[in-house]
Structure 1
């Protein structure tokens, strides 16, 4: 059984890499490792493969990753990164590698999972290279099974010599290989798992795809601007509701849609101020006299900076815009103060929903249910706010 310290470190590493991969598209696992120690053999096309395995495999196995000694252990900082963040141990590729592997036999007998990439290097263009015998020799020496694992999506997430981009990563754990399996049989098992995992389509929602098509078209930015512009004047549905729908559907569009909503809010708020200063009163549904009284009091005490309370007190932005116009707040002061207040809230909400969309990417088929929950939660929250200010 693994020492408590090793298991705790494995839990921390799994949490770290699960969190990182959740923000870059998500990680999904099929199958489980057998009880006790085992040698895991997997395909290798990206440096992200290590993160994927550490995030997907059970921490109770305390996965240790065999890493190229001539790359990860040639400098102190790489060695520290590899050992602490990946539980890596050095494996020489130019002679002596078998001895390096056999040094892990004792930890295998304690119940640890030793993860190896038997190709010895990252593959090019998704092609699976020949497997070396080291993994099979180690498993035989320790008396533990060899478990094939297929990894898909890491070649898109972090291509060899490429840059990081969003992609769902899938890890499929197969059945242990027979004791007398050859390197070719191990390679064939991993290749079959990898091919099956990569070919499995991501289940999606037709509604999400329709929303995404609008957001990514020429209509997306004007939609965010007009929604927020209208809300700053009279429309009762705040732009954060729109961002909650579209940023989860298309996380990559969050900066554009958030900035569009912010621009619409500022333009609408400036127009609301000008209209109110001219004596024009626009309809303000779902607002109360107590809200307006609170805004008048805050503006009298703080001037334009009173709008900084708006993101937190539940009073709609349009009440502040109209109140600022009636109080004679200078337009330049109002624009600067509302940009800071609305900007912090709108951008934070948009990016937060985008992060949630990335973390739940593998559950896109439930997007319709998510919209129903979002709308229902918004309705309940709005009702509570209006009741609280009544």
Structure 2
């Protein structure tokens, strides 16, 4: 039994570490106990399984009419959350009292006495079931306060990064009243309410711009300008914006891809009509290499662009001079640019999501990013000189 509890603890601690982190204060007493906690999110179960020690092999009471209503929910609840069914429409006390042997064996049973998820910041009235179970088994009641799960996975909301805090209180006697147990949990929750993580002013300013109505048009315009003449590739913008606001990563990457393709088609047509746009930070050797590739592979030559360091605008302009059909160019460049732009955007978004707790160092990240980009660009240009 403890092996399964250890596996679940490692699983959920890993998940919560990746989604913002988890901290715990206090510990369960020796022997069996009934754990009562506040409940604002489905993530509360994961938080308790990650925080409580595996030697107590905690089992979680779950609503039978919801978590055990279908085979797949039953399997998920039983295997991943160590859940057992408790009926909410009659017979629930019998379901709970069946766990007395588990408690007498020195393990823990976890209940959310509110019976359902409450609104953020509130602890609702407690039902008596947990206290009746504790008295029947002769074990203490342990209050626990959970904070941060309402940010991590809000009721009827989406998953987003947040630090989860769990505080385990002192054991209460099995004869404790529901009001006393609720007061203890409320006090723990009040003391545990998560403080906002320290943030960077620079990140907040950039996040405000990225999430404004100008965020996506900026990504589109930047990428389009780079396909024509602008020397800074759109991946630099994605590295800045997607780390600042990870949830916008896909939209930003798609906007940059659309701008890049639109700019590439325009650059091709301008070059085909004899218009020569400036191409800073490019070299004659780059253009010669691209002309040779186009002569052999036509539009398919652009597949080399994501990996060889030659700017996309060089391929677009040389494709126009070589008379590559627009339809062929658009199809091939969509595949080549799409693989790179989407991978970069989603990759930096994932990094920003995982590094959520370190967002106060965003200014230092920008400094390192700028230095790395400058050094890389210098080496690429020097190599193609």
Provide the rounded CA distance (Å) in 1 between the counterparts of 2:303 and 2:30. Answer: 57
Q: What TM-score comes out, normalization by structure 1 length?
A: 0.82
**Pairs within 5 Å for 1:236-315:** 236-315=231-310
- Superposed, 1:184-263 pairs within 5 Å as 184-198=179-193, 200-263=195-258
CA contact (8 A) 2:97 2:133 kept: no
Measured in 2, the distance between the counterparts of 1:382 and 1:113 equals 58
CA distance change for structure 1 residues 231 and 18 in 2, over 3 Å: closer, same or farther? same
Change beyond 3 A, Cα 1:386–1:41:
farther
Give the equivalent residue in structure 1 for 2:150: 154
Residues 147, 286 of structure 1: CA spacing in aligned structure 2 closer, same or farther, 3 A cutoff? farther
Aligned residues: 379
Comparing 304-313 with 182-191, which one deviates more in the overlay?
Answer: 182-191
Which one is further off, 335-344 or 6-15? 6-15
269 and 76 in structure 1: CA distance in 2 versus 1, 3 angstrom threshold = closer
TM-aligned CA distance change 1:387 to 1:192, over 3 Å: farther
Q: Mark the runs of 5 or more structure 1 residues left unpaired by the alignment.
A: none
TM-score (norm 2): 0.83
Change (3 A) 1:124 1:250: closer
**CA contact under 8 A between 1:10 and 1:63: conserved in structure 2?**
no
Q: 2:171 aligns with which of 172, 177, 184?
A: 177
Kept in 1, the 8 Å contact 2:100–2:133? The answer is yes
Aligned CA distance change for structure 1 residues 387 and 58 (closer, same or farther; 3 Å): farther
Match of 1:53 in 2: 48
The residue number in structure 2 matching 1:168 is 162
Tell me the SS of whatever aligns to 1:260. helix
- Cα RMSD of the aligned pairs, angstroms, is 3.3
List gaps (5 residues or longer) in structure 2.
none
Deviation at 1:389, TM superposition (A): 4.2
Please give the residue correspondences for 1:344-355 in structure 2 after superposition, counting only pairs within 5 Å: 344-355=339-350
The verdict on how the C-alpha distance between 1:142 and 1:300 changes in structure 2, with shifts beyond 3 A counting, is: farther
Is the contact made by 1:41 and 1:148 (CA closer than 8 Å) also made in structure 2? yes
Q: Show the counterpart of 1:103.
A: 101
Give SS of 2:116's match: coil
